[in-house]
Structure 1
């Protein structure tokens, strides 16, 4: 029988969590991001990729705020533990199928934590001929373990402490992606 998540533990995690940013703060951050993204991409006919599964909730709330024509799709990749020539190897669950040559590409994800997977995804999109590749993350976690020194999203809404976060696409053991705010696990 497969391991099942203890639902009382999942409920307790939320009950004891620290609210880092409430729902209103998240909505304000998304409004501000939409203004910045619109100013930068409104005339570029961008292709916007959502990184599954974490980026789903974020993209679902951000995309309707972008009042300009764009194409949207999704991709799903996870990172293998090892690297080859300093580049993270990806396990592609769903690869981009669009022709990227000459396109402006925006990648949406819930959080930029260390960023190894995001960097590898963006490098892949560039290698497929994208004119420019940018990323937008709802949360940029503050710490010094980034995949590259000084790595930051091109657009982000919230700077968060180096804690275990969930809500707005980020999960706790597969749950609470749907929480409307950003929460930190107690004592983590």
Structure 2
């Protein structure tokens, strides 16, 4: 896509949650996480690539000892619809006996996040918790699984910003924006 096309698409996007509201959501997330994990020295796993923005905003608010690692599991790549789960990178640290906090951008259907949690448990994590910046409201969620910490809830729209993207673009936008019908 050309810059002009992307700028035109961005201009038609609707802001659902502004940047200031997202900052307040990260404050609330940090307080909840702190009360649960401050005395456990958690291993924080950032889900690439979307989770990098949420982690960058959330981690400085967690003022207690922790370790950071990352993983990369995706069903999307740069596509706009999910497919089969692919592991591109697994954590370098051992998860055995660790209290794990997974940070991701969105809880959409939950297939990817649930698979990541299950993988952490198989690797021997003592506990696994998930924090997401956004929970998209709809009835297509995997059964029996919810994130432990949610920043904001939004309607079922095609979202960008705060780590979420359209074909690799717009992850860096502050706030949550809904794109109009996308090509």
- By the TM > 0.5 criterion, same fold? yes
Task: Kindly indicate whether residue 113 of structure 2 is the aligned counterpart of residue 118 of structure 1.
Answer: yes
Question: In the TM superposition, what is the alpha-carbon distance from 1:89 to its structure 2 partner?
Answer: 6.4
User: What's the offset of the Cα at 1:100?
Assistant: 1.1
Instruction: For residue 102 of structure 1, report the CA deviation from its aligned partner.
Output: 1.2
Which residues of structure 1 form unaligned runs of 5+? 81-87
TM-aligned CA deviation for residue 60 of structure 1? 0.6
Q: For residue 84 of structure 1, what is the aligned residue in structure 2?
A: none
Mark the runs of 5 or more structure 2 residues left unpaired by the alignment: 77-82
Please give the per-residue CA displacement for 1:17-74, whole angstroms capped at 9, x wherever unaligned: 1100001000000001000000010011100000000001110110000010000010
Partner of 1:76: 72
1:7 corresponding residue in structure 2: 3
Question: How many residues align structurally?
Answer: 176
Q: Is the 8 A contact 1:89 1:120 kept in 2?
A: no
Alignment of 1:2-41 (within 5 A): 5-41=1-37
CA shift for structure 1 position 141: 0.6
Supply the RMSD in Å over aligned alpha carbons: 1.6
What is residue 107 of structure 1 aligned with on the other side? 102
Mapping 1:1-188, distance limit 5 Å = 5-79=1-75, 90-149=85-144, 151-187=145-181
- After TM superposition, the runs of 4+ consecutive aligned structure 1 residues lying more than 4 A away are none
Give the strand-richer structure, 1 or 2. Answer: 1
Calculate the TM-score normalised by the size of structure 1: 0.89
SS of equivalent to 2:72:
strand
- Kept in 1: contact 2:69–2:92 (CA 8 A): no
Residue 147 of structure 1: CA displacement?
1.8
